[in-house]
A = this chain, B = another copy of it.
Amino acid sequence: MGRPPGFDRREVLAAVEREFRKSGYDGTTLDDISAATGLGRGSLYAAFGDKHALFLAALGDYCDQDEASDAAALEGPDETAMERLRAYLIDSVDRQLNDPEQLACMASRFTVELAGRDQEATARLRHGFDAQRAALAGCLRAAQRNGDLDPAAEPVTLATLLVVGFRGISSLIGIGLDRAELVAVIDAILAGLPRPPGPRVHQAATQEPYSQV
């Protein structure tokens, strides 16, 4: 038994992830990572391998956490499914807006940057997309059971629509859309989800959002 590592793997990967997220894959140098983590290049290579392996480790760690937190945020009783959906979207906007540098999430950024170029990263991102969509579809099914959503609607298509909205919003925050506009878009998306047919008259333009902030 020799000397144990003097760093926490999760903490290091979080710092690495942030660097990559800030400057992109090509724009991040090992010196940047070394400065951000406080580890020398030798330590980084010994612990994680080369730059690409280090990136994949950070991406994997990020996706794991993201998938778990998405599932947790969208899990719950059928009665509040629509509220969870709205809170999930608003929260993701707020998290990015409150970020000191308003960086887009790892998934939004690297889906665009690495598609068709880094197969391993793309595969991991695809898995993350499937997980996010599945969590959203589960929440939509709960809403259907509660009578908030048309039971004839296809949950996976609507979940894909929500991920599309999520990614689109995440990328557009970068050019300076403000919170009020984004919240209005989120409410317009949710207002457009198909309501169940029945006695309640649908008046999309004037209806109340599912919950207020």
Question: Which of B24, B104, B184, B192 is A192 in contact with, Cβ under 8 Å?
Answer: B192
**Does any Cβ of B come within 8 Å of A163's Cβ?**
yes
Question: Which of B102, B160, B184, B204 is A115 in contact with, Cβ under 8 Å?
Answer: B102
Copies of this protein in the complex: 2
Residues of B within 8 A of A202 (CB): 202, 204
The minimal Cβ–Cβ distance linking A192 to chain B, given in whole angstroms, is 2
**Does any Cβ of B come within 8 Å of A11's Cβ?**
no
Contact A168 B163 (CB under 8 A): yes
Q: Quick one: given A150-B205, A194-B205, are A160 and B175 in contact (CB under 8 Å)?
A: no
**Does any Cβ of B come within 8 Å of A210's Cβ?**
no
Q: Quick one: given A150-B205, A152-B206, A191-B192, are A115 and B174 in contact (CB under 8 Å)?
A: yes
Count chain B CB atoms within 10 A of each CB in A115, A122, A165, A173 and give the residue with the most. A115
CA distance A109 to B116 in the complex (A): 13
**Does any Cβ of B come within 8 Å of A56's Cβ?**
no
Q: Is the contact region of chain A dominated by helix, strand, or loop, or is it mixed? A: helix
Residues of B within 8 A of A175 (CB): 111, 115, 122, 125-126, 129
Q: Quick one: given A26-B27, A108-B112, A116-B102, are A189 and B161 in contact (CB under 8 Å)?
A: yes
Question: Which of B116, B129, B157, B177 is A185 in contact with, Cβ under 8 Å?
Answer: B157
**Does any Cβ of B come within 8 Å of A36's Cβ?**
no
Could you list 6 examples of A-B contacts with CB < 8 Å?
A: A24-B24, A109-B113, A116-B174, A161-B188, A192-B193, A192-B194
**Lowest 4 CB-CB distances: which A-B pairs, in order?**
A192-B192, A115-B174, A168-B168, A194-B204
